[in-house]
């Protein structure tokens, strides 16, 4: 094998790693190893038996050992890894440091068909674990979603759905040749290799765009924008707080990449997300003779992202938009998906447009400059993503709360990637919320937005209002017989552990109801409610009695409410 002597194949079950790995190794004239076979050999029993008798933790220990063993020395080798190997950060570091990583990809329905065929062909007495239960396809989709941000890190990806083993092999060899550019003649990663790869891509009909998540990457924004074909001028829109902290770094990077740069700062806070402020920015762009090909860079939290996005969508009927979120809430939610807009006094986001960015650049390091309150509020959206779509992520949040609150870099970056990818996956399936799939993202937002509007957007931060709204929705689900008491308690415990509020004592109940009447989910004067059916599962209901809603609103706003 030329240059790098290690080739790692990653990907979900039945994407073809073992068969293709053997054929690639044969053509390269080198050794092939399957880490699952190594694990089974040292344990003296099949993988399924290790899981059932010793537990997953023991399997992961053996898997890590097998990967380290295969990666040692200068021998050329093709290594097929297990579907979950890449989730472990130490495994990822090992693979990317000493070899080329290629992902074999397939759609969930393809994986489902292949698993069924493998089971039938082997005449197995028991079905594969992924095929057990009432809805195996859903199980595959859910597990695959949690791993997708890690698969997306590969040097090269091959979609195997309609390809033969030989065709996949050819694509892997082509990718290997391309990815070798990461390595010098000695096989080591060059010290000056600073090229960033997207954490994942949001695939939407109006145009795919990459999402970058990492530490210290804001200084590379100019290079990334230039690489994406943007040029000439960039207009940075930010707020008064973020301007002091991050604008110089961004503007220096843009100037270094050849952009002419100007910056406009609004006052920090939700009150700046206003049509009058948008008009001021229009006038500023006119003054600077902004042209259709010039880019808008939204540098800040959700307020700046929504406001700058709305300006980009409407000025000259559309300027290229780059989202550079600096808050946790914006990174995992508002910067992804193309929802832009401004508030009106009566309700939140009444005026807006769907307008996808050209890219999203989330520098996790910027979170260290947030106040504790502004950092903590962002976890509400991640908890929402986890409880509605990803049970494994929810459990991870429960186990690693203290590290996440301490902003431990590695786990925080991983969780942000996973949460962002969940949002991106939903957006890809339902870009403009026309199919009903994207409505899942509104869990907790109906009453949450009502609370924000009722308090003039000054009492609660958005994430805080969403946290209260999630508890309200959970209790509505409980009263409707949809959500279990245990799940309500579990959600409440996690929100409380992250320091998020559960009640809005003293807020006008009537003002909340008025704002809810203007909610975007109202159809034929009836509100649609997103309710929890189980961890990772939601249902949409439009038959919630007004007396149920009133009772819950009374509970969360009662003067004696705590939390």
From 380, 378, 334, select the one nearest 360 (Cα to Cα). Answer: 334
- C-alpha to C-alpha distance for 538 and 443, rounded to whole angstroms: 9
User: What is d(CA 14, CA 267) in angstroms, rounded to the nearest whole number?
Assistant: 53
- Where does 324-366 have alpha helices with state H? 328-329
One of 442, 475, 520, 521 is an active-site residue; which one?
Answer: 442
Q: Is 449 a catalytic residue?
A: yes
177 is catalytic: no
Q: Which of 220, 438, 520, 521 is catalytic?
A: 438
Annotation marks residue 374 as catalytic: no
317 is catalytic: yes
How far is CA 329 from each of CA 83, 290, 325, 552, rounded to the nearest angstrom? 30, 30, 9, 26
Candidate list 381, 414, 431, 452, residue with the active-site label: 381
Q: How far is CA 335 from CA 7, 279, 325, 422, 439, in A?
A: 35, 21, 6, 13, 17
**Catalytic residue check, 423:** yes
Q: Which two tokens stand for residue 330?
A: 């914006």
Which of 220, 385, 423, 521 is an active site residue? 423
The reply to whether 433 belongs to the active site is yes
The arrangement of strands across the sheet holding 77-80 comes to 31-34, 77-80, 6-10, 100-105, 156-159
Q: Which of 182, 246, 339, 418 is catalytic?
A: 339
Catalytic residue among 185, 287, 289, 317: 317
Q: How many CB atoms lie within 10 A of CB 89?
A: 13
Q: Which residues contact 297 (CB under 8 A, 6 or more apart)?
A: 221, 225, 234, 235, 236, 237, 250, 254, 308, 322, 324
Judge whether 181 counts as a catalytic residue: no
The Cα 342–Cα 355 span in angstroms is: 13
Q: Catalytic residue at 159?
A: no
Contact 278, 307 (CB under 8 A): yes
Among 374, 462, 520, 521, the active-site one is: 462
Alpha helices in 47-193 (DSSP H): 47-54, 56-71, 89-98, 108-122, 136-151, 165-179
Q: Where are the beta strands (DSSP E) in 452-546?
A: 522-523, 526-527, 529-534, 537-541
**Is 445 one of the catalytic residues?**
yes
* Among 63, 171, 433, 452, the one annotated catalytic: 433
Q: Which of 92, 294, 449, 521 is catalytic?
A: 449
> Given 92, 182, 246, 445, which residue is catalytic?
445
The catalytic residues are 317, 339, 381, 423, 433, 438, 442, 445, 449, 462
């Amino acid at each position: 094998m030329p240059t790098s002597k290690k080739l790692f194949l990653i990907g979900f079950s039945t994407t073809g790693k073992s068969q293709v790995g053997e054929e690639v190794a044969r053509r390269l004239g080198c050794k092939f190893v399957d880490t699952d076979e190594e694990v089974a050999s040292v344990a003296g029993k099949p993988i399924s038996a290790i899981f059932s008798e010793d537990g997953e933790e023991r399997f992961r220990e053996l898997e890590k050992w097998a990967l380290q063993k295969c990666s040692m020395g200068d021998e050329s080798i093709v290594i097929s890894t297990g579907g979950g190997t890449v989730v472990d950060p130490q495994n990822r570091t090992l693979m990317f440091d000493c070899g080329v990583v290629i992902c074999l990809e397939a759609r969930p329905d393809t994986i489902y068909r292949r698993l069924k065929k493998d089971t039938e062909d082997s005449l197995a007495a028991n079905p594969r674990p992924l095929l057990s239960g009432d809805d195996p396809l859903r199980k595959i989709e859910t597990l695959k979603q949690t791993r997708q941000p890690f698969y997306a890190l590969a040097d090269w990806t091959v979609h195997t759905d309609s390809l033969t083993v030989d065709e996949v092999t050819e694509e892997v060899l082509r990718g290997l040749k391309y990815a070798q550019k990461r390595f010098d003649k000695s096989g080591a990663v060059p010290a000056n290799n600073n090229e960033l790869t997207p954490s994942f891509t949001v695939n939407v009909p109006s145009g795919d765009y990459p999402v970058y998540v990492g530490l210290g990457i804001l200084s590379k924004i100019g290079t990334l924008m230039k690489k994406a074909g943007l040029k000439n001028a960039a207009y940075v829109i930010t707020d008064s707080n973020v301007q002091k902290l991050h604008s110089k770094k961004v503007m220096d990077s843009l100037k270094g990449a050849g952009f002419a740069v100007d910056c406009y700062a609004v006052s920090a806070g939700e009150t700046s997300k206003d049509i009058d402020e948008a008009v001021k920015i229009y006038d500023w762009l006119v003054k600077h003779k902004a042209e259709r090909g010039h880019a808008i860079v939204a540098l800040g939290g959700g307020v700046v992202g929504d406001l700058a996005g709305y300006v980009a969508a409407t000025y000259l009927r559309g300027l290229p938009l780059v989202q550079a979120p600096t808050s946790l809430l914006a990174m995992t939610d508002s910067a992804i998906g193309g929802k832009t807009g401004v508030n009106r006094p009566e309700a939140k986001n009444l005026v807006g447009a769907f307008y996808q960015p050209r890219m999203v650049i989330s520098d996790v390091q910027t979170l260290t400059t947030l106040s504790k309150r502004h950092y903590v509020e962002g976890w509400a959206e991640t908890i929402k993503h986890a409880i509605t779509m990803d049970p494994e992520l929810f459990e991870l949040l429960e186990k690693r709360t203290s590290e996440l609150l301490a902003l431990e870099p590695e786990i925080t970056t991983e969780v942000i990637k996973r949460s962002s990818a969940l949002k991106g996956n939903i957006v890809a399936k339902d870009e403009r919320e026309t199919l009903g799939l994207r409505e899942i993202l509104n869990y907790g937002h109906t009453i949450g937005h009502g609370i924000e509007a009722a308090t003039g957007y000054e009492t609660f931060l958005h994430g805080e209002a969403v946290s209260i709204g999630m508890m309200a929705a959970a209790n509505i689900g409980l009263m409707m017989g949809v959500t279990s008491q245990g799940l309500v308690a579990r959600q409440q415990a996690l929100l409380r552990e992250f320091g998020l509020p559960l009640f809005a004592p003293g807020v006008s109940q009537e003002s909340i109801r008025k704002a809810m009447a203007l909610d975007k989910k109202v159809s034929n004067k009836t509100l649609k409610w997103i309710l929890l059916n189980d961890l990772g599962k939601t249902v949409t209901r439009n038959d919630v009695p007004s007396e149920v809603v009133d009772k819950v609103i009374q509970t969360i706003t009662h003067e004696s409410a705590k939390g």
